[in-house]
Structures are given as structure tokens and as C-alpha cells.
Structure 1
Amino acid sequence: MQRKNTPAVDRTIAPQQGSTRDGQPLSYNRAPAGDLAPWIARLYVTKVSAPADYTLSCGLFSDTAFIRIQLAGDWVAMPPAGEVRATRGAFYFGPNTRRMPISVTGSFVSLGLALRPGAGTALGGPRVQDYVDRVVPSAAVVSPSEVYLALFDPEGSPEDWLQSLEAHWRRKIHLRGGTPPDPVSSAFEEIALRDPSTSVSEAADAIGVDRRKLERVVSRDFGMAPKQVLRRARALDMASHLRGVADSAEGEEMALRYYDESHLIHEFTDLFGMSPRQFVTTPQPILTLALESRQARRLEALKRIEPGQSRPWE
């Protein structure tokens, strides 16, 4: 179940933040400032050049809620409730249970932040379970698009933009009391990143709570049951390995989380809508960008690399 072939690359587009050794696109992504880390998981800026009439069809599969600000490109997201179109604007993307189709025409610029599980609950924000597999304008749950778009100097660097976004959220968190997420959610988040083959009962024991409490807190703060969260984390790690944006030293361990090849194929196809082989042979630039950012966050959270340190796939 190891990755045997170099994953396909879309040569029509040109990522401005560079590529991996395999030619997969990279974004500028980093951990939040330390004072924001309890609520914010990751920040990113993506700039990609493409022909004006070229439509890139791909997908997104995220394990956290995101605020995504689209500055350029004609975007179409296809959540189950129906398509969402945008050129410029800010949107709240709920966590995904499965790969969500998404496409963009022309060159595109996107930036945003991932919210940690329980951040919305702690800050009196949206109930994440109400937004699973949904995309809504940011005004529905946080600040309206106009507020976000005004934060960014068009001549600013990606780091300038992220610092402006952090400053906005620093003010927002202060105004909402600055209560951190439930420690149970934070502990379960770490387990999902470290070893998603852990059973729900084992996770409850490790955290020191009974299973019913774990299920209640996780359902509230992740938007789905603990078993689903772990299944998704296992698939996202495997997808990262298949796309070449995971630590290759973990490849065998990630594969062994599945009973056998048929188990991998069944679960992967169910969640991603294609077999592992198709996933490797089909370019997945937007999804790969998201997977790379998640893996960088994962390795930093598990203290396997330091923030800012070169990543194994670079």
C-alpha cells in the first residue's frame, strides 16, 4: 500500500510559492502567533498563475472550519446544498465529511485561517455542527467580506497579509472573552493527529473521561462523532502520503492503519470519490495545497519539526 508512482502534476498552473520535490504546488502557510494558538490552527496564502480561460477542477477536504478570503479567480464550490460562486469575498467553510468539489478559472489568490476544534464554542461563535459540509458568506457567522477585504494592502507581502488577519482575530478573541477551547477537544485533536487508528474507548481512557462525555464534547466541537473524526484523519494522512506531502518515513505506518488493500480502497473511495490509484494519477493541486498545510501543522503540533523548519517533502 505504499505510494509507488510520482503523483500527477498540473503543468498548466504556476504556483508562486514554489513546489515540492515531486512538483506539487506549495502555499505560504505557517502556525499562528503563540497567543492565538489556542483558537487558530493554521494560516495560509496561496497565489497561482494560470491562463485566464483555464478552469482548474479539483476539491477540498478539510478537518477544521476555515475562514477563506478569495482575492482573485472565479471560484465555484459544490457543497451538498448547492453551488457557491465567488470572485472576491470572505467565506466560512465548515469542516468536511468528504471531498467537496471546487473549481477556479484563471489566476487565483486565496488566504485564510483554520479554526481549531472548539474555538467557535469557546468564543460564542457558530455551532460547527450546523456548518459541516457547508460554505456560507462570512457575514453569516463572523465579520462580513468588506471587513476582511479591507485588511489587505494589495502591495503587501503574504506575511503582511497574515499579520493583518492575525491582528483582526486578536481583537475579535479579546472582545469575546478569550476563553480557550475545551481541553477534551484539544486532547482529542492531538490524538487524531498523532494516531487516528486509536479506538474511541482508548482515546477516552487517554484523556481521562468516560466515553459518553468524549462523544458529547467531540460531536459539539468537531461537528461529528469521534469515530468519524478518526476515520477522516486516517484518510487525510493517507491522501497526503499519496500526494507526496507527508513525511515519507511515516508512509508504511500510515498504510498499516488499514487492515488490507481492499479496506484502504473502500474507505478512500468512500471519502474522496476515487480510488487511491486514481488519486495519484489525477492532478489535485488545490487539495494538495490543503493537505500540505495540514501535514506541516501536524508535524509541528507533534514536535517532529519546528515552526519554520524545512519540511520533509520540500
Structure 2
Amino acid sequence: MALAATLYREHAPHPALRAHVRVLWELSGPCDDPSPQKLFPDGAMSLWINFGGVISGGQQHVTTGGAALLGEIRRPIEVASTGALDIVGVSFWPGSARVFLDAQLPELVNRLVADPPVTIELSGVISAEPQDRIPRLQQALLEAVQPKRAPSDRVLQAFSLLGQHDIAGLADSMGLSTRQLERRFVDELGASPKQLASLLRFRRALAAMQRPKPDFAAIALECGYADQAHLVRDFTKYTGAPPKRFVTTEAPKTRAEWLTGPS
């Protein structure tokens, strides 16, 4: 059965939030199929505020008017909704959720956490009229930022260069040893350079899989994989299915928003 259409809208963050927030978004629409939906890794974390039916993930349940934090996921996880979708969310840059958290990033890996340990005051957002939710959320984020917790400019610069060098070359370009770079990434971004580079490469491949009749060998070359076998291994790790089966059986059962993610 085809999934009912949902409305997905993105909003640019306030200029003072751009170093930490990738995008704010709204997702709404009917839930015609209560079957769990798979979410796929993208190297970052997101905050969800739920105005629709109960959302469940693992042992966590997010009620109407509740909030949840989706930690950095490194494998597919499943979420389900018992009613209409009506979510306002924030997607953070890798490592940057820490400026709004009272928890360590490793504690949140592969988890959907209801009543999340955030420093953001959400009551004004939850009580707002629909048209005021995003402005209220922007203001709540601005008031909650703790800049001293932000990743350093040096690490953010290195992150921006992932994929342009191998890890040793990237470390050398930053004047660091490979071990020093890895330690800085784990401490400040919550994942190693190798893990983040792999996730970014996978997201490029996932987007390319949405094309009609995708050419897997061409996608492997385009996205920086050593060969098609390398693509198959990574894709299976991050989605639970090899590319061909994913395209034919998994993608049609997955909402488009979960496949593309925020821009």
C-alpha cells in the first residue's frame, strides 16, 4: 500500500544559530499505515516536538505535547506513530547538539529519548499556535545556547574537509597526528573522522538511490566508494538491506522525508 502524502517544510535557522543548527522543520499528515518506519544514519542528532499521535521507538513513547531527542544513529532504527503526524523538529550539525544538552553525546547513540536532557525551555513552543511554533522554537534555542560547549573552529574546519583527503592527509593538513585528530573528533563531535566520512558518503549514495533505475556501479564511483562491493557493504550496514533489495522493497515502504533528510 502506498503511504499517504505528508507535508514537510524546512526553515533556515536564525543567523546566530547557524553554527549549531542545520535546519528547523515541520512534518505533518495522516498516518495511514501504523507499521514502523525506518530512520537511517546521517551523522547528526535531532530534537522532535510532537503535536500528533503517540510516537514510539524502542522502549520510548513520545506523547502529544512531548519531546524527544534522536541521538546520532549508526544503524537503522524504527519508529511508529499511532495517529496523525504533526512534528516540529530541529536537526543539528554533527556534535553541535551538545550546546543544548545536559548529557554526553555517546550516551545518546542509537537512541530515541523521550523527555530529553536538553537545556531548551519548550513550554512556549508546545503551547503556541501552529503558525508560531517555529518562531518560538528559534527563540528558545537562542536563549539556551551554551557556546562554550560548541566544537572548536579547528575541528569544524576539519569536518568540512572530510572526503577531500584521506584521514591521514586531513590530519596532516590540520597540523595534527592521526590519533590527535581522531581524539578531537570523538571528544567534540561524538564520532571519529572515519565514522563521519562513512556516514556522509552513505547519505550521498542514499540520495542517489532515489533516481529511476539507479546504476549501483556508477553510484559507487560517484560517491567515493572503492568499488561496488564497498557500496554494498556500507549500504547493508546502514539500512539493513543491500542496494538492490533496498530500492525494490524497502524504499517504497519508507516515507520520502526519512530518505532525503534535511537539506
Shorter-chain TM-score range = 0.7 to 0.9
Residue in 2 aligned with 1:162?
134
- Asked if the contact 1:200/1:211 (under 8 Å) is kept, the reply is yes
Matches within 5 A, 1:10-25: 11-15=2-6, 17=7
Matches within 5 A, 1:45-84: 45-51=26-32, 54-61=33-40, 62-78=42-58, 83-84=59-60
- Asked if the contact 2:168/2:178 (under 8 Å) is kept, the reply is yes
- Asked if the contact 1:39/1:181 (under 8 Å) is kept, the reply is no
- Taking the aligned partners of 1:227 and 1:210, their CA distance within structure 2 comes to 14
The 10-residue stretch of structure 1 (204-213 or 96-105) with the greater mean CA deviation from structure 2: 204-213
The 10-residue stretch of structure 1 (114-123 or 269-278) with the greater mean CA deviation from structure 2: 114-123
- Asked if the contact 2:21/2:91 (under 8 Å) is kept, the reply is yes
- Percent of aligned positions with the same letter in both sequences? 20
Report SS of the residue matched to 2:130: coil
After superposing on structure 2, the runs of 4+ consecutive aligned residues of structure 1 that deviate more than 3 Å are 120-125, 152-155, 176-180, 251-256
Residue in 1 aligned with 2:158?
188
Whether 1:210 aligns to 2:184 is: no
User: For residues 125 and 191 of structure 1, do their structure 2 counterparts lie closer, same or farther at Cα, with a shift above 3 Å needed?
Assistant: farther
- Taking the aligned partners of 1:284 and 1:205, their CA distance within structure 2 comes to 44
- Asked if the contact 1:123/1:177 (under 8 Å) is kept, the reply is no
State TM-score, norm by structure 2.
0.84
RMSD: 2.8
Offset, 1:115: 2.2
Match of 1:270 among 234, 237, 252: 237
Residue in 2 aligned with 1:115?
92
Residue in 1 aligned with 2:215?
none
User: For residues 154 and 169 of structure 1, do their structure 2 counterparts lie closer, same or farther at Cα, with a shift above 3 Å needed?
Assistant: closer
Offset, 1:171: 0.8
State TM-score, norm by structure 1.
0.71
Task: String of CA shifts for 1:233-278, please: whole Å, max 9, x gaps.
Answer: 1111111211359xxxxx7576452222222112211221011122
The amino acid of 1:222's aligned partner reads: L
User: For residues 124 and 57 of structure 1, do their structure 2 counterparts lie closer, same or farther at Cα, with a shift above 3 Å needed?
Assistant: closer
Q: Which protein has greater RCO, CA pairs closer than 8 Å, 6+ apart?
A: 1
User: For residues 169 and 185 of structure 1, do their structure 2 counterparts lie closer, same or farther at Cα, with a shift above 3 Å needed?
Assistant: same
Residue in 2 aligned with 1:93?
70
Offset, 1:284: 4.7
Matches within 5 A, 1:260-299: 260-281=227-248, 282=250, 283-286=252-255, 288-294=256-262, 296=263
- Taking the aligned partners of 1:28 and 1:127, their CA distance within structure 2 comes to 30
Offset, 1:96: 0.8
User: For residues 30 and 188 of structure 1, do their structure 2 counterparts lie closer, same or farther at Cα, with a shift above 3 Å needed?
Assistant: farther
Task: String of CA shifts for 1:205-230, please: whole Å, max 9, x gaps.
Answer: 33343322211111112322211111
User: For residues 206 and 31 of structure 1, do their structure 2 counterparts lie closer, same or farther at Cα, with a shift above 3 Å needed?
Assistant: farther
User: For residues 220 and 70 of structure 1, do their structure 2 counterparts lie closer, same or farther at Cα, with a shift above 3 Å needed?
Assistant: same
